Chains A and B, each alone.
Chain A
Amino acid sequence: MFNYTFHWNQALKALPQMLDGALITLQIALLSMLIGVVCALALTGFRLSGNRALSGFATAWIEIARNTPALFQIYMAHFGLGNFGIHLSPYTALLVGIAFNNAGYLAENFRGALKAIPDTQARAGRSLGMTALQAFRYIILPQMMRVAFLPTTNQMVWAILMTSLGVTVGMNTDLAGVTQELNARSFRTFEFFALAAVIYYVIAKAVTLAARAIASRMFRY
């Protein structure tokens, strides 16, 4: 029927190498989330600042991040910036591209979370003598975190999957890159990619389950 016999042994032998790649994948995803959260907080602040330049900048970032392919965003970080004499390694370009994408989605997510908290909460804090900052810090922010937490972990899963786009800018140390190289050497395409897919799936699922466990501990109300 098929002219193809499966050789799983070869793929399984490469498993340690692929798991090393998976660690790089996880590392990029985590870093891109850290940078993404910080940038998203800044973008949220910019949008609320009332300053037209700042809020215009934030809106442009968010619009581009959410409405263009992630692949192009990574391309831009690598080849696009290259045209301006800024040469990023594949690793850094991938990180920057995903962080850019994360920040756009997360900023929108944070804004939604902020809107979900009624104004009367801050007012109650102010009427107890709190400053605006204290009311934000102790009343609004903790409630925002609950609303934003699960969407944020979804973005983390998305970030893990986006790292596979790194192969297009020459990334060869993450899971997708390692798999691609093994494939090029052996042509056991199906076995390698199937194994890689399983590893991606396990990581993504683990993140989702861990997030739910953390959420149920952290937000008990």
Chain B
Amino acid sequence: MIEIENVRKSFGTLEVLKGIDLTVKKGEVVTVIGGSGSGKSTLLTCINGLEPIDAGRIKVDGTEVHAKSTDLNKLRSKIGIVFQQWNAFPHLTVLENVMLAPRKVLGQSKQAAEEMAVKQLTHVGLGEKLSVYPNRMSGGQQQRMAIARALAMSPEYMLFDEVTSALDPQLVGEVLDTLRMLASEGMTMICVTHEMKFAREVSDRVAFFHKGVMAEIAPPEALFGAPKDPELQKFLAATH
């Protein structure tokens, strides 16, 4: 379970998160929508401790992320995160990209790491690309590799930050299909996305962020069907 309680975060004088409360239960899929600069990415990077917070707290399975005593590296190995820019490691083959963290962070044997990597890469449809270098692949393939790389750590939670935004339109579908598959397998996920149709389909709940505030959160039928927040109404009108 991810418990976010009254989290505040500023960059200099700009308050980016103004007291966010959100609890995500095991197996739940929450998507986050909202305008540019509303704090969506910042929230994700706070959840896995890449960014410090100024107030409030975030607990993952009861462990407080920003407590001094928390072993962040250990915690991160159970929270996978995939960014808009997939950040393939260009000097490693697809297989090596996926094996690196399990080997170095979890201390897995070469054989175990390879088995897991092959399994995850096959799962995202890259079973044929094991010995290819990332720069020989399309953006969609690289993004799926990044997802497999995160999954190879056997995370209990996955955070996705606009993973299709940097892709050519014809490649968006294959990556969204991968996310749908994960959702249907019961993975606990928080997805920041601009793909409204996708959000409507996969989400248990959709959260709308506006200027650092979670202005509305509801199941997709309610949020898209009968939006209450005026800013959300404007946002939805603009995106359709």
Contacts and interface: CB of A to CB of B under 8 A. Distances in A.
Q: Do A and B bind each other?
A: yes
B74 A124 contact: no
A176 to B, nearest CB: 40
Main secondary structure of the interface of A (DSSP, over half): helix
Interface string B73-112: 1111100010101010111000000001100111000000
Interface in A108-164: 118, 120-121, 123-131, 134, 138-139, 142-143, 146
28 contacts: A120-B83, A120-B87, A121-B89, A126-B76, A127-B50, A128-B77, A128-B100, A128-B101, A128-B105, A128-B150, A129-B73, A129-B74, A129-B76, A129-B101, A129-B105, A129-B106, A130-B73, A130-B105, A134-B105, A138-B100, A138-B104, A139-B89, A139-B100, A143-B91, A221-B90, A221-B133, A221-B134, A221-B135
A127 B76 contact: yes
A97 B124 CA distance: 56
Nearest to B93: A221
Interface of B: 48, 50, 73-77, 81, 83, 85, 87, 89-91, 100-101, 104-106, 133-135, 146, 149-150, 153
A59 to B, nearest CB: 29
Contacts of B73: 129-131
Interface of A: 118, 120-121, 123-131, 134, 138-139, 142-143, 146, 219-221
Contacts of B101: 125, 128-130
Contacts of A121: 87, 89
Contacts of A128: 76-77, 100-101, 105, 149-150, 153
A121 B85 CA distance: 10
A129 B73 CA distance: 4
B149 A120 contact: no
Contacts of B75: 129
A128 B150 CA distance: 7
Residue with the greatest number of chain A CB neighbours at <10 A, chosen from B75, B77, B87: B87
Nearest to A146: B91
A134 B104 contact: yes
B91 A142 contact: yes
A215 B77 CA distance: 34
B43 to A, nearest CB: 15
A219 B91 CA distance: 8
Given A129-B75, A138-B104, 18 more contacts: A124-B83, A125-B89, A127-B81, A128-B77, A128-B100, A128-B150, A128-B153, A129-B76, A129-B101, A129-B105, A131-B73, A138-B100, A142-B91, A143-B91, A220-B133, A221-B90, A221-B91, A221-B135
Given A128-B101, A138-B100, A138-B104, A123 B91 contact: no
A221 B83 CA distance: 23
B87 A126 contact: no
